[in-house]
Amino acid sequence: MNIDITFSKTGKIIPSYNRKEITMEDSPYMIYLATTGMCSAVYVRAFMTQRGMSLENVSLVQSIKYNRMTNMVEEMEVKVELSEDFPTKYNKAIKAVVDQCPVKKHMVTPPAVSVTTNLDVEIEA
């Protein structure tokens, strides 16, 4: 499964799956899955903008290995598709910038998640 991340002419980040933009109205879960690529795109956009480089012909592809038996993601890869004129001297730097994405870091080391309700206090009393 691949999620494509592109930039509009104004730099807006657009996630899509099967050539259809992913929105909260369609699938909050797909938005969740796309956040690693979208966060990476924020860092790529900042890197390119700071150096006066165009985002034209720059995109990201987030590949997801999904286990249908467990309904869990097993592996993700974020590939940054750079324009042909991108300076090779920045290749390591662009990867380091993407590694700073906090969403990616949370995927690698997820937080504990608990579920509570407003009734918990009343039940414990």
Q: Please check the confidence at residue 10 and state whether its pLDDT lies above 60.
A: yes
Q: What value does the mean pLDDT take over residues 5-25?
A: 93
Strand 13-17's sheet: what is its strand order?
Answer: 20-21, 13-17, 2-7, 59-67, 72-81
Rounded distance between C-alpha atoms, residue 44 and residue 40, angstroms: 6
- What token pair was written down for 35? 């956040």
- CB contact set of 65 (below 8 Å; sequence gap of 6+): 1, 73, 74, 75, 76
Rounded distance between C-alpha atoms, residue 14 and residue 19, angstroms: 11
Q: Please check the confidence at residue 123 and state whether its pLDDT lies above 70.
A: no
Q: Please check the confidence at residue 122 and state whether its pLDDT lies above 70.
A: no
Rounded distance between C-alpha atoms, residue 89 and residue 95, angstroms: 12
In CATH terms, the fold of domain 2-124 is: GMP Synthetase; Chain A, domain 3 (3.30.300)
Rounded distance between C-alpha atoms, residue 116 and residue 31, angstroms: 24
Q: Please check the confidence at residue 24 and state whether its pLDDT lies above 60.
A: yes
pLDDT band at residue 12, thresholds of 50, 70 and 90?
A: very high
What mean pLDDT is reported for the chain? 92
Q: What is the pLDDT of residue 11?
A: 93
- Domains of the chain: which residue ranges? 2-124
Instruction: Read off the pLDDT of residues 86-109 as tens digits, 9 standing for 90 and up.
Output: 999 999 999 999 999 999 888 888
Instruction: Read off the pLDDT of residues 37-66 as tens digits, 9 standing for 90 and up.
Output: 999 999 999 999 999 999 999 999 999 998
